[in-house]
Amino acid sequence: MLGSTPGWPAVLADGPVTLRPYRRSDARAWSEVRIANQKWLAPWEASPPGPWVEMNSPRAYLYVYRDMKRAARRGESMPFAVCYRDDDGDRLVGHLNLGSIVRRAFGSAYAGYWVDGRVAGRGVIPTALALAVDHAFSSGGLHRIEVNIRPENGPSRRVVEKLGFREEAYHPRYMHIDGQWRDHLGYAMTTEDVAGEGGLLARWRRLRTTTK
């Protein structure tokens, strides 16, 4: 997935968590995780144009992969497969995208993510988001990362809140999700927010140490 985006493609890692560009060969693993997590993911994602199983099949992945590849080549996004290593091996367990990238005076992107509910609570997504934000602020040349989350999505809100994202806005009827137009909370972080701490990953490591 070569492209003109500064800092892309990239492989980022910390402990058992790795972020890497998607591969065509990820189709079966991606589909298995998505289908197994329908109840976990469907309430928080944009309403699909068809049945969940069909929209998350290995065949559907090839269209998703093509679209991600095109967006990355145009410099509009950095789509990462989130992988996790444990006793079951190193496997794809989630997704993190830095999308809607705007450069020059804005220098901003939106972060979106999901994770396999079977590994939720292990720090996978906070680590992944910290890695991606640090990369965006350094090699990616960005200044601001935004995340928009439904108010009812407690697990996702806890991710950004414990990492120190600011809650900045309330967006009524922001996105069509699970059959209705849903409100979202807007969170954001700029490079100045973590520059004095050695980056967001360093902040997250200290937080994990003090809360153990």
Rounded to 5 degrees, what are φ and ψ at 174? -75, -40
In a domain, 34, yes or no: yes
Quote the pLDDT of residue 178.
84
Q: What is the CATH number of the domain that holds 139?
A: 3.40.630.30
Q: Please, what is the end-to-end C-alpha distance for the chain in angstroms?
A: 38
pLDDT band at 3 (very low <50, low <70, confident <90, very high): very low
Quote the pLDDT of residue 4.
57
Q: Is the pLDDT of residue 1 over 70?
A: no
Q: Is the pLDDT of residue 2 over 60?
A: no
Range of the domain at 117: 12-211
Mean pLDDT of 191-199: 96
3-state helix, strand, coil in the chain (%, to 5): 40, 35, 30
pLDDT, one tens digit per residue, over 15-58 is 999 999 999 999 999 999 999 999 999 999 988 889 999 999 99
pTM: 0.94
Pairing of strands 180-190, 108-115: unpaired
pLDDT, one tens digit per residue, over 175-188 is 999 889 999 999 99
8 Å CB contact between 60 and 77: no
pLDDT, one tens digit per residue, over 120-157 is 999 999 999 999 999 999 999 999 999 999 999 999 99
In a domain, 24, yes or no: yes
Question: Count of CB atoms within 10 A of residue 118's CB?
Answer: 14
Q: Examine residue 9 and say whether the peptide bond preceding it is cis (omega within 30 degrees of 0).
A: yes
pLDDT band at 10 (very low <50, low <70, confident <90, very high): very high
In a domain, 205, yes or no: yes
In a domain, 3, yes or no: no
8 Å CB contact between 198 and 128: no
In a domain, 113, yes or no: yes
In a domain, 58, yes or no: yes
Share of the chain above pLDDT 90, in %: 89
Q: Where are the beta strands (DSSP E) in the chain?
A: 12-14, 17-21, 78-86, 89-102, 108-115, 144-149, 166-177, 180-190
Quote the pLDDT of residue 208.
86
Q: How many domains does the chain have?
A: 1
In a domain, 50, yes or no: yes
8 Å CB contact between 82 and 194: no
In a domain, 2, yes or no: no
Q: What is the dihedral of CA 165, 166, 172, 177, to 10 degrees?
A: 10
Residue at 22: amino acid letter: Y
Q: How far is CA 187 from CA 110, 144, 163, in A?
A: 10, 11, 11
